[in-house]
Amino acid sequence: MNMSGLYRWGMFLIAGLLAPVLVQGAAEPEDIIKYRQNSMKASGAHMAAASAIIKGKVPFNSQLIVHALALEQLNHDTASLFPKGSDFGKTKALEGVWENRAEFEKAAHAVAIKAKAFTRAAASKDPKTAGTAFKALGDACSACHKKFRKKDD
DSSP 149: B
The answer to whether 91 and 148 are in contact (CB under 8 A) is: no
pLDDT score of 27: 85
Distance between CA atoms of 119 and 13, rounded to whole angstroms? 14
Report the alpha-carbon distance of residue 17 to residue 70 in Å, rounded: 10
Name the region of 122 (left: φ>0; alpha: ψ -120 to 50; beta: rest). alpha
Give the number of domains in the chain.
1
Q: Is residue 89 part of a domain?
A: yes
**What does the alpha-carbon distance between residue 65 and residue 13 come to, in Å, rounded to a whole number?**
13
**So what's the pLDDT on residue 23?**
47
What pLDDT was estimated at residue 15? 59
**DSSP annotation of 76:** T
Is there a domain that residue 153 lies in?
no
Residue 71 lies in a domain: yes
Cβ contact 74:17 at 8 Å: yes
CATH number, position 40 = 1.20.120.10
Could you list the mean pLDDT of each consecutive 10-residue stretch along the chain, which spans 153 residues?
Answer: 61 58 68 96 98 97 98 97 93 96 98 98 97 98 97 79
User: What local confidence, expressed as pLDDT, does residue 3 receive?
Assistant: 60
Domain range spanning residue 11? 3-148
Report the pLDDT value the prediction gives residue 5, as an integer from 0 to 100: 65
Report pLDDT for 6. Answer: 62
